[in-house]
């Protein structure tokens, strides 16, 4: 029987999805980050299927999302905080790993990460920081986070609704460069990496992930360890095919 446990990992609200009888045993573990304005429970179908294959899955709520939503934070404030949320996710990923390590719940250091949209962006940023990530999946996320940030800022400026100064924007760009996987693809170091993206995505540009994949694949000794799945006529919504392929990826590489 698969159990779904509401927990706190270092004060981060998570859903811990695992075969109930193995809850306290060391298992290969996947942390899956949700998208912008979503929440941890929206990824339960993925977590259930992976847990049913013998994995532990951790679904955290990002800052201002799900159990961490704050009524005083407006939708505009949340949008402006997008990149801070991403960077905070990366910091909290390490905090969650330390808690899992302390409880001896990760089998043989086998830990992977994945995410949807903002969660996919988080995944790419985390790969630039942590060598202990064994494998990852980026679903409709951009590894070119500085470029994507500039695109979003330009879009906000056209509406005249950007409550930050130019100086603050430049500081953000400088900070994002430290997390920008496209600026240091060598950090992948041949780790297995899966991409999925719909070709008609109007939210996160398809070409960001695909052109990065084309360049990064040249660095891989084993070309099968980096793989891109694209779906024609698919917009900014993860398909069942994408979910099943992501599960297959972790079963193969973790």
Q: Each residue of 70-92: pLDDT tens digit?
A: 887 777 778 878 999 999 999 99
Average of per-residue pLDDT across 215-239: 96
CB under 8 Å to 35, separation ≥6 — which residues?
A: 42, 115, 116, 117, 118, 119, 120
What is the distance between the alpha carbons of residues 118 and 95, in angstroms, rounded to a whole number? 19
Q: Percent of the chain beyond pLDDT 90?
A: 87
What is the distance between the alpha carbons of residues 118 and 116, in angstroms, rounded to a whole number? 6
Q: Each residue of 32-68: pLDDT tens digit?
A: 999 999 999 999 999 999 999 999 999 999 999 999 9
Phi-psi group of 27: left, alpha or beta (phi > 0 → left; psi -120 to 50 → alpha; rest → beta): beta
> Higher model confidence: residue 211 or residue 158?
211
What is the distance between the alpha carbons of residues 27 and 14, in angstroms, rounded to a whole number? 17
What is the distance between the alpha carbons of residues 223 and 15, in angstroms, rounded to a whole number? 34
Model pLDDT, residue 161: 65
Q: Each residue of 151-205: pLDDT tens digit?
A: 888 777 776 666 777 888 899 999 999 999 999 999 999 999 999 999 999 999 9
Domains in the chain, ordered, with CATH?
A: 2-253 (3.40.50.1820)
Q: What is the mean pLDDT of the chain?
A: 94
Average of per-residue pLDDT across 121-146: 98
pTM of the model: 0.95
Model pLDDT, residue 236: 95
């Amino acid at each position: 029987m698969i159990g779904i446990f509401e927990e706190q990992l270092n004060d981060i609200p998570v859903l811990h999805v695992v075969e109930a009888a193995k809850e306290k045993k060391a298992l290969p573990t996947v942390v899956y980050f949700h998208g912008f304005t979503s929440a941890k429970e929206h990824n339960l179908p993925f977590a259930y299927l992976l847990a049913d294959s013998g994995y532990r899955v951790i679904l955290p709520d990002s800052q201002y999302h799900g159990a961490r939503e704050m009524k005083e934070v407006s939708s505009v404030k949340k949008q402006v905080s997008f990149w801070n949320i991403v960077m905070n996710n990366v910091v909290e990923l390490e905090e969650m790993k330390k808690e899992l390590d302390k409880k001896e719940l990760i089998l043989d250091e086998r830990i992977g990460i994945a995410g949807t949209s903002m969660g996919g962006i988080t995944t790419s940023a985390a790969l630039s920081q942590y060598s202990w990530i064994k494998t990852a999946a980026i679903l409709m996320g951009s590894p070119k986070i500085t470029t994507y940030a500039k695109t979003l800022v330009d879009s906000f400026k056209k509406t005249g609704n950007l409550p930050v100064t130019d100086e603050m924007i430049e500081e953000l760009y400088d900070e994002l460069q430290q997390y920008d996987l496209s600026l240091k693809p060598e950090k992948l170091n041949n780790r297995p990496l899966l991409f999925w993206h719909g070709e008609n995505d109007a939210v996160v540009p398809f070409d960001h992930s695909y052109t990065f994949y084309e360049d990064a694949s040249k660095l891989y000794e084993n070309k099968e360890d980096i793989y891109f799945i694209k779906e024609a006529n698919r917009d900014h919504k993860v398909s069942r095919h994408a979910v099943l392929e992501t599960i297959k990826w972790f079963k193969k590489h973790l």
